[in-house]
Amino acid sequence: MFQNVNARFETFLALAELAGAQREDPIPHLQEGLDFLAEHRSKYGSIEFQAGVSMVGQKLADFGLEVVADRGEAKAILAWTERVRAQNLQVPPTQNDTDPAVRDQMAQLRRARNDLWDAQLNSQPVDEVAQRVADLESKLRSSAWQQAGPGHVAEETTPDQIKALAAEGNATVISYFEYRGKLAAIVVSGEDIQWTTLTDLAEVEELARQVNADLDALASDFLPTPLRGSVTNSLQSNVARLADSVLTPLDEHVGTESVVIVPTRALNWVPWGMMPQLVDRPVTVAPSASVWWRCTRQNSPGGRVLLASGPALREVHEEFAAVARCYDDPDILTGEDATPEAILSAMDGAAVAHLAAHGQHEPDNVLFSRLNFHDGPLMAYDLDSLDTAPTEVILSACELGRSTVDVGDETLGFTAALLHAGTSTVIASLTRVPEQLSADMMSAYHRGRAAGLPPAKALAEAGKGHPWHPFICFGRG
């Protein structure tokens, strides 16, 4: 499938290298190659396949980044990094549930997933049902790869537009990227665009991994008190070291108000609200500054409020009672009413969707990352079936703020699928989270939103008193 495309890219790359050898500008040849890639990507309807297309053009992207970064012009670096990151989220969604065979396979997969969950809970053999799940997921992925795309991509967002929005919102945008084995950052304020190299990439990646491991450990209800203290100390130390590496060198450039973080792959699972410089401040995370700009500029029409819960949650009644008091007559789906089909129907056109359920990110099959409801899971794959995605989605669940970031900083996962479907704001956790903490945080968050606070500010206020919470505001803050 990619043979002819690869040949075209080798030509673009050869022309760029020849131009460089002749002391000419290679960028026009690289841009022509990326234009060709964008056109090719738009032919496919699968967000996963769109992300995979970027692997073909990675040499062009890397070559161009080195050229513009070596020249040292921050605005050009920002333009290039935006041109080559999270491009799968720049392709408008196409509905994926129109084929009856696909709908039947989805129903079979939900039943198989339910059977697998029951077998795991009851300590029964799982090999046969696990294989059935894998086979159905493989068939659905193959079907998605055959789906036609919209044939066009979103209009590019310019550095000047990003800077203007930062000025309008009194925000600082920090966009990280990888440059010659180092972590580097572009800082955009309403007044200026600057960039700097920071630290060794491998060191930062390891610190981020340790922070996530500590948070996952603290989520356990069965962690002995002495060990909990040790893990908390480890988390505090690792967070401080990580902040010293990725934020402290930028302190003089970062304002005192809201911050927008565009992470690179090494920083994708960083709980930014824990960083000492960002505690109690509105922090928003986006796969690219262009996605942040688009989410912020999207219209936010009114609509219903949906509360839906899955099984085996101890604190959900208290949580829903508190959240429901913040809104007039919300739709509430619980128990046997909370099926994936009913929830998807209620989500369509909603203003707010609060989904409380056990969740799981699937790093190897990201579009099957899921929330568990009655009668089976609601999966990231389902979300492109929405005519109108909810404006704001709150995932009171574990892990679903996680994304798998492929070559080219192409982002995949439940949160990314919501942003791709058209949701402007997603509140989600990066790690496992205790039910009581989730209930307390989400109740406080909705009170803040009902009082008129923007999402990132409401989350910052809800996090006061919970210094190690893993919730993140994605998209529009």
Cα-based angle 369, 84, 380 (whole degrees, multiple of 5): 15
Q: Give helix 3-21 / helix 27-41 axis angle, nearest 10°.
A: 170
* Confidence at residue 163, expressed as pLDDT on a 0 to 100 scale: 96
Q: pLDDT tens, 156-172?
A: 899 999 999 999 999 99
**pLDDT recorded at residue 27:** 93
Entry field: residues in the chain: 477
| pLDDT at position 43 | 77
What share of the chain has pLDDT > 90, as a percent? Answer: 46
Q: Is the pLDDT of residue 54 over 90?
A: no
Radius of gyration of the chain (CA): 22
Beta strands 370-373 and 376-379 are antiparallel
Dist CA 37 CA 34 (whole Å): 5
Contacts of 127 (CB under 8 A, 6+ apart): none
Confidence of residue 124 (pLDDT cuts 50, 70, 90): confident
CATH number of 298-475: 3.40.50.1460
**CA atoms 369, 372, 375, 380: torsion sign:** negative
Q: Using 50, 70 and 90 to split pLDDT, how confident is the model at 95?
A: low
pLDDT for res 306: 96
Band of pLDDT at residue 391, cut at 50, 70 and 90: very high
Give yes or no for residue 1 having a pLDDT over 70: no
415 with 474: CB under 8 angstroms? yes
Tokens linked to 88: 């799968």
Nearest partner of 73 among 199, 195, 253, 250, judged by Cα: 195
Whether residue 10 has pLDDT greater than 70: yes
**pLDDT value for 97:** 60
pLDDT given at position 193:
96
Q: Is pLDDT above 90 for 405?
A: no
**How many Å separate Cα 286 from the centre of its chain?**
7
Strands (E), 281-391: 283-285, 305-309, 331-333, 352-356, 359-360, 370-373, 376-379
Residue range 307-335: mean pLDDT, rounded? 88
Nearest CA among 98, 433, 13, 81 for reference residue 288:
81
Residue 351 has pLDDT above 90, yes or no: yes
Report the chain's mean pLDDT, rounded to a whole number.
Answer: 87
| pTM higher than the cut 0.85 | yes
**Which one-letter amino acid corresponds to residue 4?**
N
The helices-and-strands tally (H runs, E runs) of the chain is 16, 16
8 Å CB contact between 393 and 425: yes
DSSP track, 163-198: HHHHHHTTEEEEEEEEETTEEEEEEE-SS-EEEEEE
pLDDT at 113 over 80: yes
- pLDDT reported for residue 439: 87
CA 315 – CA 436 distance, rounded (Å): 6
Asked whether the predicted pLDDT for residue 118 surpasses 90, the reply is: no
Is pLDDT larger for residue 42 or for residue 409? 42
Could you read off the pLDDT of 421-433 as tens digits, one per residue? Answer: 899 999 998 888 8
Paired sense of beta strands 410-412 and 370-373, if any: unpaired
Number of alpha carbons in the 13 Å side-chain half-sphere of residue 360? 9
Residue extents of the structural domains in the chain: 3-90, 97-146, 159-282, 298-475
Q: Which of 46-50, 106-110, 340-344 has the highest mean pLDDT?
A: 340-344
CA distance 180 to 294: 30
Residue 412 has pLDDT above 70, yes or no: no
Give the angle subtended at the CA of 389 by the CAs of 144 and 347, to the nearest 5°: 105
- Percent with pLDDT over 70 in the chain: 93
Q: What's the confidence (pLDDT) of residue 107?
A: 86
Q: Please give the pLDDT value at position 117.
A: 79
